[in-house]
Structure 1
């Protein structure tokens, strides 16, 4: 068995938060550093907020995530608030200058009801003029077509185990993609399979949800260098402001 705690530790190894290496991390790191108070929705193991505090952020930092194993790792840093729950569970009222959803976590909001409730809760948690910043994979890039065992990667985890990791698309219904993530030994013995659904929203659909929740679009980028969304963009990066 590869436990939830093992998986959380592996996530940190595979997805190191490093603004010096990854433009996406640098993009968020700058926003967090400039905000007086931050709510990180879907914070996972808390790496973004850990680094912000380590670099001297003095304001309120709160991480919200439904995964107890991820939060157990996040709580290694006690000078940040960690809350177990989903985006829709957010119960703050005008408490934050900035809310974020990194790592394509926004795409885990699959149904219209989830999207509506989550955006309403994030909107309520922000102060007037506060910003909600997140990214989604652009559906035109059809990222799911590259998710198959032939793209498996190998690595050694923190416990010294040699592993193979891969994603495999199961089916696509409308704008929702269902896929599995497999963790196996180097010889292919499967240790763990996790099934996930992600929603790939077109810009106009995304913007309708944001408008309905009371947000205005302040900025929209197609890459982490601030380029416009084009016919070849792989990302939809959104800066939305609470009206």
Structure 2
């Protein structure tokens, strides 16, 4: 069974539907996007957030940035939004946006100090003075990686009618960097695709140090999507930072 990059992008949308009414995380970002006149979505993936914003009447400048060509091909099904292939660190906008976002824990894909600093500098430059940067990271205290194992596999039927099983499995935890695999298999167990990803789990202090060095001030900080504070049980670090 052939399983292409385009199939993987379509499967992502199937497993992660963007729905602000169902998911509080999506609702959090949707409210910010709809209130901003210009938005840069860094790590936009298949573009679902910006698609919905335009569908709901957003009249402003919407730009999605992502290095994944297959994901952008799905994003480009909507032509009234600007789609750019590239990484956060390579972004070259100058004071063009009121809001920048990184949803779905995309911020954690910035693994090295150099990548973090370059990406934050580029996002800072892309924002107008006073512009806001919204993103979330998994709180390391929740140790989310311990739940990434085949026992938590998802069974789905894709658009082509194929029965698939998808699971994540942690390979290593070295300092604050977790490396894991995502496996997609056919119903008979045949492995179709294995993707390896590393994520960085910054604590609040380290995160804020990087933001401050890049010229951001913390406007709001939450530990849950309902706006609650960070506690000893929080699974998220949700940040709204403002360009100084």
State the TM-score, normalized to the length of structure 1. 0.99
Q: Do residues 101 (structure 1) and 102 (structure 2) align?
A: yes
Q: CA deviation at 1:178?
A: 0.3
Cα distance in 2 for partners of 1:116, 1:58 equals 32
Q: Tell me the residue number matched to 2:242.
A: 241
**2:31 corresponds to 1:10:** no
**Pairing 1:190-229 to 2, within 5 Å after superposition:** 190-229=191-230
**After superposition, where does 1:1-243 map in structure 2 within 5 Å?**
1-243=2-244
Report the aligned-residue RMSD: 0.4
Q: Deviations over 1:100-157 (max 9, x none)?
A: 0000000000000000000000000000000000000000000000101111110101
Q: Deviations over 1:30-72 (max 9, x none)?
A: 0000000000000000000000000000000000000000000
1:89 shift after superposition: 1.1
Separation of aligned partners in 1, 2:199 and 2:191: 23
Find the aligned partners of 1:187 and 1:154 in 2 and give their Cα distance.
Answer: 12
Structure 1: 4+ residue segments shifted above 6 A: none
Q: Secondary structure at the match of 1:88?
A: coil
Q: CA deviation at 1:187?
A: 1.9
Cα distance in 2 for residues equivalent to 1:26 and 1:149: 30
Aligned-partner SS, 1:182: strand
2:89 partner SS: helix
C-alpha separation in 2, matches of 1:137 and 1:188: 30
Aligned mates of 1:73, 1:25 — CA distance in 2: 19
Instruction: Say how many residue pairs are matched.
Output: 243
Q: Where does structure 2 lack aligned partners over 5 or more consecutive residues?
A: none
Distance 2:89 2:44 in 1: 14
Query: 1:172, CA displacement in angstroms?
Result: 0.4
C-alpha distance in 2, partners of 1:57/1:228?
A: 30
- 3-state DSSP of counterpart to 1:233: coil
Q: Distance in 1 between matches of 2:99 and 2:21?
A: 22
Distance in 2, Cα, partners of 1:83 & 1:194: 23
| SS class of match (1:11) | helix
Give the Cα–Cα distance (whole angstroms) in 1 for the partners of residues 147 and 97 of structure 2.
Answer: 37
TM-score by length of 2: 0.99
SS of 1:120's equivalent in the other structure is helix
**Partner SS, residue 32 of structure 1:** helix
Displacement of 1:188 in angstroms is: 1.2
